[in-house]
Chain A
Amino acid sequence: MEDSTDFLATKIPSLEKFEDNLRCPICRELLLRAPKITECGHTFCGECIDRHLNNETRCPLCRLEVQRAQLRANKSLESAVEEWKLNRDKLLHQLTLEQNSNTREHKDDNEKHEHTGVLNNVEIQHNPNVKTMSVCPICSKTLPISEIQGSHIDTCLQTNSSRSKRKRPFFEPIPTKKLSLPFFATLSDAKIRILLAENGLISKGSRAKLIQRFQEYFTLYNNNLDLKTPEPVSNLRKKMSLWEKTQNNNTNDLKELDAKEWTSQHQTQFDELITSAKKTAEKKNTPEKNSENVINLTQTEPQTKLKNGEVSESDNESEI
């Protein structure tokens, strides 16, 4: 989990504002997925603005009229965001260190530890007893050459044959032609069902659901082709089945998250709001009016606030 407020606790807090401009105002993710610019000059993920335009043909930011046909790829920004993404963690880490070194005095110790670490590595590499290493062509693991040429390659071939098919579908063709959005008003339910079936999609449900389903697929499909490395159609189908799930019920799969921690976070704030409110109200009850009634109700305990980056580090890979 990351967002632009990560920079608030660093040496250059204004990078929060900077990064906000590299994020989609709709989903708040970095603009890495074929961002599109509107006529009014605002940029969103291709998918996000497409979905929004099904709802309302105005820019979410400035409310000017926006036509889907007038959207253009914002390639310069996309490249800039790619570079930013590559360096973000390093920069955040460095700026946090520098910020901390202003307040703490342990910086020198840390540096010493880092240095000895580097030295140790170098020594290991130069140790003549260390076996010559190489990269296995199948699983890309770095192993001693003797091992790769020995038993490893056979076991690796066996265990990876099924997995690599799933992971890297070389032979699945990437589509090149975009879908066109039909004028639904002129299509019968049956025609829309056929259209869905032709694209390998579920063709059940109300007319409204059929149309929504095709619109969502259209959004995923066409924006996928604008990505630098488009995904195979089977991945889009997987995304569609997630979409079906979110349509059917409001339960979302949060089992993997430490959601208990998430939900308990605000309980302390709640308790404090109530306590201060009681105090205020009691004071109000007393005859003489007290000018100190205004209490900052959100004076939360430090432990209720999240420390930088502490929450769900494992969620970095939350892309669908």
Chain B
Amino acid sequence: MPPKRMSTAVKRLMTEYRQLMKDPPEGISAGPISEDNFLEWECLIAGPADTCYEGGVFPATLVFPADYPLNPPKMKFVPPIFHPNVYPNGEVCISILHAPGDDPNHYESASERWSPIQSVEKILLSVMSMLAEPNDESGANIDASKLWRDNREAFNARVRGDIREALGL
């Protein structure tokens, strides 16, 4: 049998994918977009219960670097969601997605940042808890941060409106 020449990144992602299919965490689904490229995934995250995101399903993409898992993937909500820690272009800004040397907000401790032992599953679970509890120290979306801090009712209403629109209701 000729050994297949696959990069560590692809092998690791195949293992992760296999495990995610076997035992998917609640409210999360993820997998590679096409058969030609295991370094680009799409995922769906269900809004956590008892939050204004409840009832929504939010599609996102994960783009992995060639040296994954040494460096983290980039995650982007497509379309962008309204959230204090999500840039207006949809890119997610949470500490687990930040490589050791890169901390845009200068508040994260090294222990929260990316390490090669993290995984797609851990990223998506962190994003779930980010939806439940925005971090107001990191303002990726200034408007969302302000509204969340100053007028929670209006913030919740805005998010719920977006969800109904996205689901075509």
Contact = CB atoms under 8 A, between A and B. Distances in A.
A217 B108 CA distance: 33
Given A266-B21, A280-B54, A293-B54, 7 more contacts: A55-B99, A252-B37, A252-B38, A273-B29, A276-B46, A281-B163, A297-B46
B39 interface: yes
A28 interface: yes
A57 B25 CA distance: 32
B29 A269 contact: yes
A89 B9 CA distance: 25
B102 to A, nearest CB: 11
Contacts of A8: 22-23
A119 to B, nearest CB: 31
Interface stretch (B10-18, B79-87, B137-145, B151-159): B10-18
Given A27-B11, A60-B117, A242-B5, A273 B44 contact: yes
A48 B116 contact: yes
Interface in B29-87: 29-40, 44, 46-47, 49, 54-57, 66-67, 69-71
Nearest to A56: B100
A36 B41 CA distance: 32
Contacts of A273: 27, 29, 44, 46, 57
A317 B4 contact: yes
B23 A5 contact: yes
B34 A280 contact: no
Contacts of A311: 18
Q: For chain B, which range describes its interface: under 10, 10 to 19, 20 to 34, or 35 or more residues?
A: 35 or more
A29 interface: yes
Interface in B119-162: 160
B35 A263 contact: yes
Interface centre among B12, B35, B49 (most CB of A within 10 A): B35
Contact of B44 (A243, A260, A274, A296): A274
A257 B6 CA distance: 11
Interface centre among B9, B14, B33, B164 (most CB of A within 10 A): B14
Interface string A278-320: 1011101100000001101110100011100001001101111
Given A55-B71, A246-B7, A254-B10, A298 B111 contact: no
A-B pairs, 10 with minimum CB distance: A259-B35, A266-B31, A269-B29, A56-B100, A281-B55, A277-B57, A280-B55, A26-B116, A297-B46, A25-B117
Given A1-B14, A277-B167, A281-B169, A269 B23 contact: no
A146 interface: no
Contacts of B17: 262, 265
B53 to A, nearest CB: 11
A57 to B, nearest CB: 9
A111 B66 CA distance: 48
B21 A252 contact: no
Contact of A25 (B10, B116, B160): B116
Contacts of B117: 25-26, 60-61
Interface in A208-267: 242-243, 246-247, 250-254, 256-257, 259-260, 262-263, 265-266
Nearest to A299: B26
A147 interface: no
A270 interface: yes
A296 B29 CA distance: 13
A227 B163 CA distance: 55
Contacts of A317: 1-4
A3 B57 contact: no
B19 interface: yes
B6 A318 contact: yes
- Identify the interface centre among B2, B37, B40, B117: most chain A CB within 10 Å of its CB: B117
14 contacts: A5-B22, A26-B116, A52-B116, A61-B117, A63-B111, A246-B7, A246-B9, A253-B6, A254-B35, A273-B44, A273-B57, A277-B55, A297-B27, A318-B3
